[in-house]
């Protein structure tokens, strides 16, 4: 079986960002797309709400920008916000051209727009309550049909390959090592340009709306390769995930609240008005903290989201996925309130990039949730994430097209060396450490933080890092080990970032520092092997 692959562009990740980039490069480059499992898995597929864009005559770019800046609590980069919003209309038009079937008004051909928390206008275009699936399935069909795009499913990236650029002392990305889950061998993927589109890292928490694939792979690989990361302390907890012992991680879309659903205590009393004048339409961080506060105050397991005052026809038309999923657990949302709890949902920080998605490392790009563009600030506004995926993927594609012909083909890198490792007979170590990590991150680095909790997390993460590094050095790699290694790296970055922020802002709330600082600063972490320095590194695996 072939274990050395050569392409012009290697895209690690197969969600909305990765596939948009692949399609945008398809006519000019040979592209490989790595998917760590089946291509139709990942966070994009499960996104329900929609995509925020300026599509209505009553809406404006300035209004969308202003709403995003408010939600971001002073940390959004206004130039990044404006760039994203100004390209929102064309991004939606491109998706429609690809064949995405967005929901239209029942009495016209106009697209139905809904409103979500933090938005001052109806600007969320959607496909019922399964927008991510509609977008992802359309892009998958287009990618699979193109001869220049090669998909490698069940391939888990381990490490980036870096080389000295010919003719200079700059370090460049030139590929990646990836575990083929089909045969348990590590393959070498070489490319002129490498793109990280691996999504976020919410699986670092015990309760999350994300699929198992959200293990921070791209962020961890970029950090190990010498790239800066920023604002990792801002982890968005979606306020409303279904609370049921068999539901695992099912998101109850924010569009329910946008269409008038009420949050209620177990006794049926509404409570959001006590926390914010916007009530149920307050930004996610406000709603998540309010729910967390009420659950802890009352000692109850959950609160309830109630849309049963709307007609059955309205609910069935707008929320068929939520209705069907809840019915599987005996909850009829047309009659009954939905039990909900907050859960880790989105990583607002990530790998530092410019407007083109370029990282600190030459020829390495990061797009989507893996990246830090400055769009989200201290709190991502609802439905801006898929928009960011499309806009920055297209921007990166233009930049790559302009340089790809001048990039030299990288030298072949050595095969992955397994000569000094053995098969493990103690995989229980992986499962135990995985569980311990996610539990203490939830308890100590969750919605509400303290200095003492962060110190405890720091102590535990050091011990876990040592254990996992030893395990990684002595045994053959597996998909679970790769993800655990990456999650521990990302957890350490989150903890370090949270320790550095001596205030409460957006998604970071500290009982020791409850006030907002007068100066808004990003938390930027710089690795010891910072890639922007002219360092020559080996192509051999770490």
The per-residue pLDDT for range 129-149, each reduced to its tens digit, is 889 999 999 999 999 999 999
Mean per-residue pLDDT for 68-84? 96
% of residues, the chain, pLDDT over 70: 96
- The domains of the chain are located at 237-345, 428-525
Structure tokens at 368: 């989507």
Cβ neighbours for 240, distance < 8 A, ≥ 6 positions apart: 251, 252, 254, 256, 257, 263, 287, 291, 305, 338, 340, 342
Q: How far apart are CA 364 and CA 194, in angstroms?
A: 5
pLDDT band at 253 (very low <50, low <70, confident <90, very high): confident
The string of pLDDT tens digits covering residues 169-206 is 678 999 999 999 988 899 999 999 999 999 999 999 98
pLDDT at 165: 75
To the nearest whole number, what is the mean pLDDT of the chain? 92
Q: How far apart are CA 296 and CA 301, in angstroms?
A: 9
pLDDT at 425: 65
Q: What is the CA radius of gyration of the chain?
A: 22
Q: How far apart are CA 91 and CA 416, in angstroms?
A: 40
pLDDT at 167: 62
Selecting from 3.90.700.10, 2.40.30.10, 3.50.50.60, 3.40.50.150, what CATH number does the domain 237-345 have? Answer: 3.90.700.10
The string of pLDDT tens digits covering residues 156-168 is 999 999 998 766 6
pLDDT at 471: 86
pLDDT band at 542 (very low <50, low <70, confident <90, very high): very low
Q: Check pLDDT > 70 for residue 344.
A: yes
pLDDT at 25: 98
Q: How far is CA 57 from CA 53, 89, 383, in A?
A: 12, 12, 19
Higher-confidence residue: 282 or 80?
A: 80
Q: How many residues does the chain have?
A: 542
Of the listed ranges 413-422, 491-500, 517-526, the least confidently predicted one is: 413-422
Would the CATH topology of 237-345 be identical to that of 428-525? no
The string of pLDDT tens digits covering residues 358-396 is 999 999 999 999 999 999 999 998 899 999 999 999 999
pLDDT band at 10 (very low <50, low <70, confident <90, very high): very high
% of residues, the chain, pLDDT over 90: 75
Structure tokens at 7: 């392409």
Higher-confidence residue: 419 or 111?
A: 111
pLDDT at 168: 64
Of the listed ranges 6-20, 140-154, 414-428, 460-474, the least confidently predicted one is: 414-428
Mean per-residue pLDDT for 437-443? 92
The string of pLDDT tens digits covering residues 11-49 is 999 999 999 999 999 999 999 999 999 998 888 988 878
pLDDT at 1: 59
Is residue 501 among the annotated active site residues?
no
Q: Is the dihedral of CA 101, 107, 113, 117 positive or negative?
A: negative
pLDDT at 537: 39
Q: How far apart are CA 100 and CA 90, in angstroms?
A: 14
Mean per-residue pLDDT for 63-89? 97
Quick one: fold of 428-525?
Methane Monooxygenase Hydroxylase; Chain G, domain 1 (1.20.58)
Mean per-residue pLDDT for 284-300? 89
pLDDT at 107: 82
Mean per-residue pLDDT for 283-310? 91
pLDDT at 209: 86
Q: Check pLDDT > 50 for residue 497.
A: yes
State the chain's maximal CA–CA distance in angstroms.
71
- Choose the catalytic residue: 82, 284, 438, 453: 284
pLDDT at 472: 86
**Using an 8 Å Cβ cutoff, are 11 and 130 in contact?**
no
- In this structure, the dihedral spanned by the alpha carbons of residues 63, 65, 66 and 70, taken in order and rounded to 10 degrees, is 140
């Amino acid at each position: 079986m072939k274990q050395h692959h050569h392409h012009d562009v290697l895209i690690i990740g197969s969600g909305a960002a990765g596939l948009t980039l692949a399609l945008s490069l398809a006519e000019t480059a040979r592209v490989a797309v790595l998917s760590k499992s089946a291509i139709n898995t990942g966070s994009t597929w499960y996104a329900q709400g929609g995509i925020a864009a300026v599509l209505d005559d009553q809406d404006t770019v300035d209004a969308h920008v202003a709403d995003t800046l408010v939600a971001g609590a002073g940390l959004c980069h206004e130039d990044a916000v404006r760039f994203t919003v100004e390209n929102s209309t064309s991004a939606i038009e491109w998706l429609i051209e690809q064949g995405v079937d967005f929901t239209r008004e029942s009495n016209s051909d106009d697209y139905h727009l809904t409103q979500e928390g933090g938005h001052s206008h109806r600007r969320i275009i959607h496909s019922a309550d399964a927008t991510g699936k509609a977008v992802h399935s359309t892009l998958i069909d287009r990618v699979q049909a193109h001869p220049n795009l090669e998909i490698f499913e069940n391939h888990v990236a381990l490490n980036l390959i870096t080389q000295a650029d010919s003719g200079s002392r700059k370090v460049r990305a030139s590929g990646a090592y990836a575990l083929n889950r089909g045969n348990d061998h590590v393959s070498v993927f070489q490319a002129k340009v490498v793109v990280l589109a691996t999504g976020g890292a919410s699986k670092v928490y015990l309760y999350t709306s994300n699929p198992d694939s959200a293990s921070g792979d791209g962020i961890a690989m970029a950090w190990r390769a010498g790239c800066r990361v920023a604002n990792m302390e801002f982890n968005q907890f979606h306020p409303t995930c279904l609370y049921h012992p068999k539901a695992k991680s099912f998101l109850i879309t924010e569009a329910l609240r946008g269409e008038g659903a009420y949050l209620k205590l177990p006794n049926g009393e509404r409570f959001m008005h006590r926390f914010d004048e916007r009530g149920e339409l307050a930004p996610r961080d406000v709603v998540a903290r309010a729910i967390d506060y009420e659950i802890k105050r009352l000692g109850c397991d959950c609160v309830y989201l109630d849309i049963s005052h709307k007609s059955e026809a309205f609910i069935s038309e707008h929320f068929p996925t939520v209705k069907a999923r809840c019915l599987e657990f005996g909850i009829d949302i047309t009659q009954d309130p939905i039990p909900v709890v907050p859960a880790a949902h989105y990583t607002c920080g990530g790998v530092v990039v410019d407007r083109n998605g370029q990282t600190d490392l030459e020829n390495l790009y990061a797009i989507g949730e893996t990246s830090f563009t400055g769009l989200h600030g201290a709190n991502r506004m609802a439905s801006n994430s898929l928009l960011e995926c499309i806009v920055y993927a297209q921007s990166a594609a233009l930049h790559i097209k302009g340089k790809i012909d001048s990039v030299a083909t990288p030298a072949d890198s050595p095969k992955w060396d397994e000569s000094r490792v053995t098969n493990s007979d103690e995989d229980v170590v992986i499962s135990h450490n995985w569980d311990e990590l996610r539990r203490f991150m939830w308890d100590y680095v969750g919605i509400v933080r303290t200095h003492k909790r962060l110190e405890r997390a720091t102590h535990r993460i050091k011990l876990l890092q040592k254990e996992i590094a030893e395990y990684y050095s002595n045994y053959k790699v597996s998909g679970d080990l790769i993800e655990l290694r990456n999650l521990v790296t990302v957890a350490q970055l989150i903890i370090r970032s949270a320790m550095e922020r001596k205030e409460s802002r957006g998604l970071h709330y500290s009982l020791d520092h409850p006030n907002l600082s007068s100066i808004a600063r990003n938390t930027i972490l710089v690795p010891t092997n910072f890639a922007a320095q002219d360092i020559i590194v080996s192509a051999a695996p770490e």
